[in-house]
Structure 1
Amino acid sequence: MSNNIEGKVVVITGASSGLGEATARHLAEKGALMVLGARRITLLEEIVGDIVSKGGTAICRQTDVISKSDIEALVDAGLKTYGKIDVVINNAGVMPIAPMVEVRTAEWDTMIDINIKGVLYGIAAALPIFQKQQSGHFINLGSVAGVKVFSPGGTVYSGTKFAVRAISEGLRHEVGANIRVTVIEPGAVESELKHTTVHAESSTNVNQFYELAIPAASVARAIAFAIEQPSDVDINEIVMRPTVQDF
């Protein structure tokens, strides 16, 4: 019986570690044809090699999501290799937590560039393809911090993830019946995200909070669930946390 994932071409940004890597491996095991992008090309090549050695199919391309042309090239590589794109997972993100009174505007700019513009560039690269195909699926990685403001220190990060939620819902309204849109909003999940906080006090708090983190594979399974639904079912939003997380 088909799992409705096998044979689908799936593009993932931020695929060199954490949620992106776990999702790439999980979907490849289910027969998806993977197109992996991230800045660390050596790690990507190792993941692709491992997937292929286990009988899966994957290609990769060095991709920085703050570059519109990089994301376009990633999507184009998938289209040229496989002849279609079925799913784009806008996963790349950073979380430099710090109180606003620290006025770390460079970190604010980075979060806006990666967490918001990176998602928009992923949408822009694939939307014309999806419209031409009359099918496609955007999966955008939000956060529980996009449902409830993560405070203290997470105000700007929450702002970017609220934006991802709003963009996802607005896109769903605009694209019509043939293109699906899902936003995944995890709580504490084991990944490198916590390491993007460098403000000393905030970093200590974040690392303590992430002691309750669940494995990245948990999110990969949620993403697979959204993809494998029949074409007339659109899973719009999944909010998931460790059972012990109260935020």
Structure 2
Amino acid sequence: MQITSLTGTVAIVTGASSGIGEATARRLAEHGATVAVVARRKDRLDELVASIEAAGGSALAIAVDITDRAQAQAAVQTVVASFGRLDILVNKAGLMLLGDIVGADIEEWDRMIAVNQQGLLHMTHSALPHLLAAAKDDVRGVADIVDISSIAGRQASANFGVYNMTKFGVNGFTEALRQEVTKQQVRVGVLEPGAVMTELVSHNSQRVRDGLEATDDIPVRLQPEDIADSIAYMVTRPSHSSIAELWAMPTSQV
């Protein structure tokens, strides 16, 4: 099957300071894209950019908090001012804080909603005009948005309540947007990973981590590079082919 090169394109990857976001930035650069890596931890972003450039790629670090609408808008404007275009947006930034709904820390709910939903909305709204413009030119004749959801966007589980809500919302928003812009050659797809070896769980309390460990029956989890490969697959399809949804699971996960 034909795989289109990303040479000449510009991509933004949020949540790029670790895990899936970092691996995705590396993979898109390997395919020829210039990659703007967006997150709050500038030291990690600088290290990632240096590594991508040492491997022959091109990258730009932008340290911002995408839950702040003005910062998200400025990040997109910086990318377009620097490179003249935007072809791909990967909304990876995410937070998973688990626990009982009864007696929950409401501030944790607010933080998840801010990152998982509002940050995604800010970046998408700011990027769309530039993606629509890129889809009309002859570099690829298509542009891409990939939103990273979760198996938690497909099935609800006890102790995952608000995280479930944010990811179900991502799924719904992604499909609605796909229907709006797909005829303008902007492909919009959602990727739903199962268990992946990242630092996502580490943001939780020790009690929650212990509980997850006690019930964990997945001997081999996915690696961030596995999800990066899936994202690269989505954005390197020929312009007539759109992957609207991709569910990526460890073989051993039910």
In which range does the TM-score fall when normalised by the shorter chain?
over 0.9
Amino acid across the alignment from 1:147: R
What are the residue-to-residue correspondences of 1:144-163 with 2, within 5 Å? Answer: 144-149=151-156, 151-163=157-169
Which deviates the most, 158-167 or 176-185? 176-185
SS of the counterpart of 1:4? coil
CA offsets, 1:21-48, max 9 Å, x none?
0111111112111001100001000100
> What is residue 220 of structure 1 aligned with on the other side?
228
> What is residue 204 of structure 2 aligned with on the other side?
197
Structure 2 gaps, min length 5: 137-141
- Given the two structures, how large is their TM-score scaled by the length of structure 1? 0.94
> What is residue 127 of structure 1 aligned with on the other side?
128
Amino acid across the alignment from 1:45: D
What are the residue-to-residue correspondences of 1:47-58 with 2, within 5 Å? Answer: 47-58=48-59
> What is residue 33 of structure 1 aligned with on the other side?
34
SS of the counterpart of 2:86? coil
For residue 2 of structure 1, report the CA deviation from its aligned partner: 6.7
Q: Determine the C-alpha separation between the residues in 1 that align with 2:178 and 2:7.
A: 24
Q: Does 1:182 align with 2:189?
A: yes
Whether the aligned pair in 2 keeps the contact of 1:11 and 1:34 (CA below 8 Å) is yes
- How many residues align structurally? 244
> What is residue 139 of structure 2 aligned with on the other side?
none
CA offsets, 1:64-96, max 9 Å, x none?
121112221221122112111000001000000
What are the residue-to-residue correspondences of 1:1-247 with 2, within 5 Å? Answer: 3-133=4-134, 134=136, 135-149=142-156, 151-177=157-183, 178-198=185-205, 200-207=206-213, 209=216, 212-246=220-254
Which deviates the most, 38-47 or 208-217? 208-217
Q: Determine the C-alpha separation between the residues in 1 that align with 2:3 and 2:97.
A: 41
For residue 203 of structure 1, report the CA deviation from its aligned partner: 1.7
SS of the counterpart of 2:192? strand
Whether the aligned pair in 1 keeps the contact of 2:10 and 2:33 (CA below 8 Å) is yes
What percentage of aligned pairs have identical amino acids? 35
Q: Determine the C-alpha separation between the residues in 1 that align with 2:77 and 2:42.
A: 17
CA offsets, 1:94-151, max 9 Å, x none?
00000101322111111110001111111111112223344421110100000001x2
1:205 to 1:241, Cα distance in 2 relative to 1, 3 A:
farther
Q: Determine the C-alpha separation between the residues in 2 that align with 1:152 and 1:169.
A: 25
Amino acid across the alignment from 1:142: S
CA offsets, 1:198-235, max 9 Å, x none?
2x432213345376421100000000000000111110
For residue 15 of structure 1, report the CA deviation from its aligned partner: 0.3
Whether the aligned pair in 1 keeps the contact of 2:6 and 2:236 (CA below 8 Å) is yes
- Given the two structures, how large is their TM-score scaled by the length of structure 2? 0.91
Amino acid across the alignment from 1:163: G
Structure 1 gaps, min length 5: none
SS of the counterpart of 1:101? coil
Q: Determine the C-alpha separation between the residues in 2 that align with 1:42 and 1:163.
A: 31
Q: Determine the C-alpha separation between the residues in 2 that align with 1:128 and 1:144.
A: 30
Q: Determine the C-alpha separation between the residues in 2 that align with 1:196 and 1:218.
A: 22
Amino acid across the alignment from 1:131: L
Whether the aligned pair in 2 keeps the contact of 1:13 and 1:90 (CA below 8 Å) is yes
1:28 to 1:143, Cα distance in 2 relative to 1, 3 A:
same
SS of the counterpart of 1:37? strand
Whether the aligned pair in 2 keeps the contact of 1:153 and 1:202 (CA below 8 Å) is no
1:211 to 1:156, Cα distance in 2 relative to 1, 3 A:
farther
